[in-house]
Amino acid sequence: MSDDTPRVALVTGGSRGIGRACVLRLAADGYDVGFCYQSNEDAARLLEKEAGELGARVRAVRADVSDGASVRAMLAEVNDELGVPETLVTAAGITKDNPLLMMPDDDWHRVIDVNLNGVYNICRAAVFEMMKRRRGSIVNISSVAGVYGNATQTNYSASKAGIIGFSRALAKEVGRYGIRANVVAPGFIDTDMTSVLSDKVKDNAVKSIPLGRLGTADEVADLVGYLASDRAAYITGAVFQIDGGITI
């Protein structure tokens, strides 16, 4: 790749929370950015505008990451509009919490389909072109729940633990092609996903965090941006917890 070739990144779940912050971080870092969103078109178009104001070419595409055909169509659209991504960030994720004995089967399968199968679908679709170019960085967003488990989140914890195993195996497969695969595992981050928690739950969480506060999506995005960059050229198969010390 020549120095003047635009660098392209692709972010799943890009219209909100951590994914949104990653789109803006990568755009500020000089990438052209494609991202997918599930349903909120207004938020996606606003993000297109904000990232574009940072100098990036940006393309938002509606896609369901749990559906392989939808993911492949989204990737083809990004390829046509921006070019082949060399950086992939998988931030799409949902929660459907319940104690195991009260968990509907559909809630188990939907969380696994979006969080884990979604990572498989986009990595499976994107990695071949990276291998051909012998260059690429994949950053998969997991969670500290996937490292340590979390009560009432067997589905979520399983999906996020699966991302870690998937990423480590993938790092071993594709390292010889110049491709890196790493994991970011956030703790309590101030996003719309945590905004639905009660004040009592959030207060108790803050008390258990040595740094005494929730993290921000921008802080996670800064770590993602570093792992995507050439500054992290000798890092692969690693899991980076960004959790304020909650798991110490």
CA distances from 51 to 4, 45, 47 (A): 20, 10, 6
How crowded is residue 156: how many other Cβ atoms within 10 Å of its Cβ?
Answer: 24
CA–CA distance, 118 with 167 (Å, rounded to integer) = 13
CA–CA distance, 6 with 83 (Å, rounded to integer) = 8
Amino acid sitting at position 169: A
Q: Which two tokens stand for residue 77?
A: 């659209």
CA–CA distance, 238 with 167 (Å, rounded to integer) = 9
CA–CA distance, 183 with 139 (Å, rounded to integer) = 6
Active site residue 226: no
Residue 243: which residues within 8 A CB-CB, separation 6 or more? Answer: 144, 185, 186, 187, 188, 209, 215
CA–CA distance, 12 with 140 (Å, rounded to integer) = 10
Q: Catalytic residue, from 37, 148, 156, 177: name it.
A: 156
Catalytic residues: 156
